[in-house]
Amino acid sequence: MPDIDIDFADRSHILKVIQYIPAAIDDNTQLKRHNTGVYCQQIPYNPITMTANIDYKQAEHRGYFKIDLLNVSVYKHILSEEHLVDLMNKEPLWELLEQDDFVNLLFHVNGHGSILREMMPKTVAQLAAVLAMIRPAKRYLIGKDWTTVMNEIWKKPDNNEFYFKKSHAIAYASLIVVQMNLICDSISHEYS
């Protein structure tokens, strides 16, 4: 059973209004609090640490459902649902992805300017594929033509290597487009 990721500008607001038990992660020495995972159901927990007392992977096998509540600061700059939709639907200046100074401002792709310059994505689907190529299982696709990439990128690897699922990649690529447009809008307002 997969978990669900939900993005928030500030997750502390939702944590004030829901009942939850923080998930735990086994780091091979002890159980520690998971950075983002929570259970909104009864799960065995440590009454001292108030954290689940079984690792999230073990909990999944036992039928518990983890929700990852993620802080995504990009959303702090969204004024309304309409503003978000406008930013999502606006074609970004894709050529800005050739500039490391710009790329290093962006969510999930900062530090990966060389891959962006090599692949030169021009659509959300291509940007999602680049996000997947950054992960170990799909690195072999860097530098390949887009037809080859799109035929291979979403296939689950046989070797259990970490890869990005299409749904996550499309969502994050869309958010990167929003962020690109936010940055460009803030610059144009600065000079108008």
pLDDT, tens only, 25-44: 988 888 899 999 999 999 99
- Which regions of the chain does DSSP assign to beta strands (E)? 4-8, 21-26, 31-39, 45-46, 51-52, 66-71
Residue 192 has pLDDT above 70, yes or no: no
Q: Which has the closest alpha carbon to 59: 28, 21, 29?
A: 21
Q: Is the pTM of this model over 0.85?
A: no
Q: Could you give the CA distance from residue 162 to residue 158 in angstroms, rounded to a whole number?
A: 11
Structure tokens at 164: 């990005």
Q: Could you give the CA distance from residue 39 to residue 174 in angstroms, rounded to a whole number?
A: 27
- What is the band of 132 on the pLDDT scale with cuts at 50, 70, 90? very high
- Tokens 């659509």 sit at which residue? 123
pLDDT, tens only, 136-186: 899 999 999 999 999 999 999 888 788 888 988 999 999 999 999 999 998
Q: What is the pLDDT of residue 84?
A: 94
Average pLDDT, the chain: 92
Q: Is 79 left (phi over 0), alpha (psi -120 to 50) or beta?
A: alpha
- What is the band of 2 on the pLDDT scale with cuts at 50, 70, 90? low
